[in-house]
Amino acid sequence: MIEDDIFRALADPTRRAIFEKLAGGRMNASALRQGMAISQPAMSQHLAVLRGAGLVREARQGRFVNYDVDPEGVALIAQWLAKYRAYWPARIDALKAVLKEMDQ
Amino acid sequence: MIEDDIFRALADPTRRAIFEKLAGGRMNASALRQGMAISQPAMSQHLAVLRGAGLVREARQGRFVNYDVDPEGVALIAQWLAKYRAYWPARIDALKAVLKEMDQ
DNA sequence: GCATCACATAAGCGTCTGCTTATTTGTTGC
DNA sequence: GCAACAAATAAGCAGACGCTTATGTGATGC
């Protein structure tokens, strides 16, 4: 199950922080480490997990490797969540507003 | 972090299966076990994890305990996912259709 | 070539998970 | 009370996780 990899990857707070950082724009592994109190191998391992889950893509550029959010992975979460739409409470209005915003 | 508990809970395939089953309607622990090749204590432990994550609620009824999906937990996932709306690809249209459906 | 840098991989280790079996708690009906 | 049932908890254990240090791989620039 792909969802296994996705949720497992997101279960770790450090990996969610990395993912969130990447959501702000593409970045290489060294830049990601800035202000994160994490060793180089640990970062590399986390990125491998995120990549394996399809949440992040990599693109080698010289001796750097740039990472960015993979929309495919995000879409899979959205798809999974959509199955439980019946349980989204009133707060759903905020999400609707967001979608409306996207239309403009 | 609450999100820790949520994603950790969903990282296990058995727990996702339980959650999915509950999404079909409230059920007690014994009913949930039907056709699931899982021991009674294992089910109890999984339900405790799901409950701790706010994904599931319990309501004792006699000597049974009924469980059902907790909308609060689902809403938290939706909120988390909303942060990455910029990365939802075209497939977002399906979700939009669902929301439109909800308006009727 | 070779020193340097960016990153990945290997190996090892303490901790956490998810399962099991055994037992306990709480409820029902006689 | 007490037998039967639903569910939770306890204890133990194999396997997975996330980290570390050490080493390997690939690219840059002199």
CATH number of the structural domain spanning residue B24: 1.10.10.10
Q: Judge if the beta carbon of A39 is closer than 7 A to nucleic acid strand C.
A: no
- The verdict on a CB contact (< 8 Å) between A7 and B4 is no
- The verdict on a CB contact (< 8 Å) between A11 and B7 is yes
When pLDDT is cut at 50, 70 and 90, the band that residue B101 belongs to is: low
B76 has pLDDT over 50: yes
Report chain B residues whose CB lies below 8 A from the CB of A72.
89
**Residue B12 belongs to what domain range?**
2-102
- Of A6-10, B65-69, B89-93, least confident by mean pLDDT is B89-93
Say what percent of chain A tops pLDDT 90.
76
As given in the structure block, the two tokens for residue B12 are 């296990």
Cβ count near B31 (within 10 Å): 13
Q: Judge if the beta carbon of B91 is closer than 7 A to nucleic acid strand C.
A: no
Total number of domains constituting chain B: 1
pLDDT at B100: 54
What mean pLDDT comes out for the span B30-50? 97
What mean pLDDT comes out for the span A53-62? 96
Q: Which DSSP category does A36 fall into?
A: S
Q: Judge if the beta carbon of B63 is closer than 7 A to nucleic acid strand C.
A: yes
Return d(Cα B53, Cα B44) in angstroms, integer.
Answer: 14
When pLDDT is cut at 50, 70 and 90, the band that residue B96 belongs to is: low
Chain B nearest CA to A64, separation (Å): 23
